[in-house]
């Protein structure tokens, strides 16, 4: 800084000056560029400026760390902030739950309504089901159709199906009505 202030009244020479004195040219060997080197006072100014910038950055870094340390040590100001901060768990996508439907009439079952069926157990853990229908198609005016052959069935006809338990859930595979192959369940 002293060099910058000391030269205020003079016009400073350019950084890479070719107008060095013969004495300066003699001091700098030609293999290093000779008179093309930066004058010593300019190099000192650059060193001082760079040192000042580095010290300023270091000071800001220390102040920032001290402020963060104080912020962590100070007690919360309100009762709402007294609880420890925890990360919220990531939002888990929720699968859309399909409403249960009757396999005979395809109507949506309300809460508490069930499909009437009879289960016959077998030796291998699977069950043979005789599905009659839901309250909408057994006692109402809903059209009853077989989901396999799409023929209309009467109220006294049943669907034949196989039920297995997989991962704690009941899986039902419908074979059909008496018209299309409900007899295909002769595997039992």
For 135-161, give the DSSP string.
HHHHSSSPPPB-TTT--B--TT--EEE
Can you give the residue range of the structural domain that contains 146? 116-185
User: Using an 8 Å Cβ cutoff, are 28 and 35 in contact?
Assistant: yes
Q: The tokens of 91 are what?
A: 């939002």
Quick one: 120 and 67 in the same domain? no
Last residue of a domain, one of 46, 73, 100: 73
Q: Which long-range contacts (CB under 8 A, 24 or more apart) does 6-10 make?
A: 7/41
At 60 the pLDDT is: 92
At 1 the pLDDT is: 43
Last residue of a domain, one of 18, 51, 73: 73
In 74-155, where does DSSP find H-type helix?
135-138
Dihedral angle sign, alpha carbons of residues 36, 42, 47, 53: negative
At 55 the pLDDT is: 95
User: Using an 8 Å Cβ cutoff, are 38 and 16 in contact?
Assistant: yes
Beta strands in the chain (DSSP E): 116-121, 127-133, 159-166, 169-176
At 56 the pLDDT is: 95
Last residue of a domain, one of 73, 102, 133: 73
User: Using an 8 Å Cβ cutoff, are 87 and 119 in contact?
Assistant: no
Q: The tokens of 38 are what?
A: 């930066």
Quick one: 126 and 63 in the same domain? no
Does residue 66 fall inside a structural domain? Answer: yes
Does residue 157 fall inside a structural domain? Answer: yes
At 111 the pLDDT is: 87
Look-up of token digits 């043979």: 128
Between the alpha carbon of residue 120 and those of residues 59, 103, 164, 176, 177, the distances in Å are 83, 19, 12, 17, 17
Average pLDDT along the chain, 188 residues, taken 10 residues at a time:
48 50 51 58 87 94 88 64 65 78 88 87 81 88 88 88 84 85 49
């Amino acid at each position: 800084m002293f060099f910058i202030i000391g030269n205020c009244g003079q016009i400073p020479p350019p950084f890479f000056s070719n107008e060095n004195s013969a004495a300066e040219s003699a001091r700098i060997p030609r293999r290093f560029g000779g008179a093309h080197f930066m004058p010593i006072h300019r190099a000192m100014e650059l060193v001082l400026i760079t040192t000042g910038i580095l010290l300023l950055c270091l000071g800001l870094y220390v102040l920032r760390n001290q402020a963060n340390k104080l912020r962590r040590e100070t007690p919360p100001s309100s009762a709402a902030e007294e609880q420890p901060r925890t990360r919220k768990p990531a939002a888990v996508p929720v699968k859309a739950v399909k409403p249960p439907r009757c396999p005979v009439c395809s109507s949506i079952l309300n809460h508490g309504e069930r499909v009437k069926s009879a289960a016959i157990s077998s030796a291998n853990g699977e069950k043979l089901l005789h599905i009659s229908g839901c309250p909408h198609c057994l006692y109402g005016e809903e059209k009853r159709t077989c989901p396999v052959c799409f023929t209309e069935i009467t109220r006294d006809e049943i669907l034949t199906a196989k039920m297995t338990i997989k991962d704690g859930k009941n899986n039902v595979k419908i074979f059909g009505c008496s018209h299309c192959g409900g007899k295909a369940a002769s595997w039992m």
